[in-house]
Amino acid sequence: MSVLSNSFHMTHFLERLDQLQSVVLYLSEKNEFVKLKEELDVQVRQEFDDFEIQPQQQSLIYRFIIDVDLSALLEKNAPLGNTVLLSALEGTNLFQEVLFGHCRANELLPPDVTSSQIFTKLQVTNFPVILHHLQVERVSDLTKFLDYPGFVRLVGITTGVSGPAKYTHLKVYTITQNVCPEEECEGHYGNRYIRTHVPGASETQIIRSDFRCRLCGEVLEEVTASRILSDKVVAELVPVRLCGPAQREVLGEGRLQAVPVFVRDNLVEKVELGRMYEVIGICRSDVQGGTISIALEANNISEMEKVKISSVDLLPKSVRDAYKGYTEFVHLFHVILACLVITAK
């Protein structure tokens, strides 16, 4: 049994090592390590200026946003591309580990900075349109992705946007009673328990009072002065389908029910009413009392090319067929329409 267990762990280790090497190669080809150093220089310089003004303030996290061309990544490195596509959090952790290791090896950050202080976001672009099973074309499609940890794609027209609200982007916890005696534990060095929002997580998964140190078991308490808030809005998008040789925009049949989309941080400014967007995101669910609500949390938003919509396309299919069949006999169309309404009742 132990031999099989050791073999499994070794296989898992080699697979992860291979993926980490793939991440290093991908970032190197995109010249991301040079961009990383430039961004760090700006962040560290800003931290130094803030420290001169308020010496008690320190940078809690260092932010890195990496654009990932998903189609190109799947073509160059299918295993890594599948990890990013099908397990967003695991893919993010791989990139975070590589970036932290690079910063450590090149002494780009202070030595006391831990991996939990490296905030990495993979901003996905160029989602493969051929993946039809990962397209959201109606609200009911979201139920298929409740247990799916990867990305999906929605193309829709914005019919509503809520007012901006604040959400907890980051919280810091610490052991206040005692210092963890284990040197390998982050609690041994004090204020190192940092919890950031991850896509699909609810507010209650960030703000809790029952977190404990995984080694010493001490209860963690929040450092309230270190909480960081950010902006969010909830947009409503009516899904559309792009079909036909001319990629003509066609609204879906049946009831036009909007899909709620959580939009956060730098993406909030992109959303405007009446425009058509491609949204790449992760399905999320929220439970409040006895009510379960499902929505999409946007990872990236891009505006689609404007397409003119014929008013006929907005009609139900049965009415469109009747209209097309009686275009030469306009005086009969209202009779056929009345019959359709009576039949529907």
Q: What is the pLDDT of residue 248?
A: 46
Quick one: which of 115, 142, 90, 127 has its CA closest to 258?
Answer: 142
- What's the whole-model pTM score? 0.77
- CA of 217: how far to CAs of 91, 205, 211, 213, 220, in Å? 29, 19, 9, 5, 9
Q: Is 208 within a domain?
A: no
Task: Give the 3-state secondary structure of residue 154.
Answer: strand
pLDDT digit string (tens) for 163-189?
Answer: 999 998 888 877 766 566 666 666 666
Residue 33 lies in a domain: yes
Q: Mean pLDDT check: name the lowest of 98-107, 206-215, 258-267.
A: 206-215
Q: Is residue 178 part of a domain?
A: no
Q: In this structure, is residue 261 part of a structural domain?
A: no
Tell me, yes or no, whether 273 lies in a domain.
Answer: no
Highest mean pLDDT among 116-120, 210-214, 322-326, 340-344: 116-120
Give residue 255's pLDDT: 59
In a domain? residue 251: no
Residue 56 lies in a domain: yes
Average pLDDT over every residue of 284-302: 87
Two tokens at 274?
């009446």
Listed residues 75, 108, 126: the one ending a domain? 126
* pLDDT of 328 strictly over 50: yes
Closest CA to 263 of 161, 128, 137: 161
CB 233 within 8 A of CB 199: no
Count of domains for the chain: 2
Mean pLDDT value of segment 265-290: 89
Residue span of the structural domain in which 99 resides: 1-126
For residue 49, give the CATH number of its domain.
Answer: 3.30.1640.10
State which of 84, 106, 126 marks the end of a domain: 126
For residues 162 and 32, give the distance between their C-alpha atoms in angstroms, rounded to a whole number: 35
Q: 232: which residues sit within 8 A by CB, 6+ positions away?
A: 164, 165, 166, 167, 262, 263, 264, 265, 268
Q: Which of 139-143, 192-196, 243-247 has the lowest mean pLDDT?
A: 243-247
Helices (H), ranges, 77-234: 78-86, 88-105
Boundary (domain end) residue, out of 126, 158, 193? 126
Higher pLDDT, 308 or 271: 271
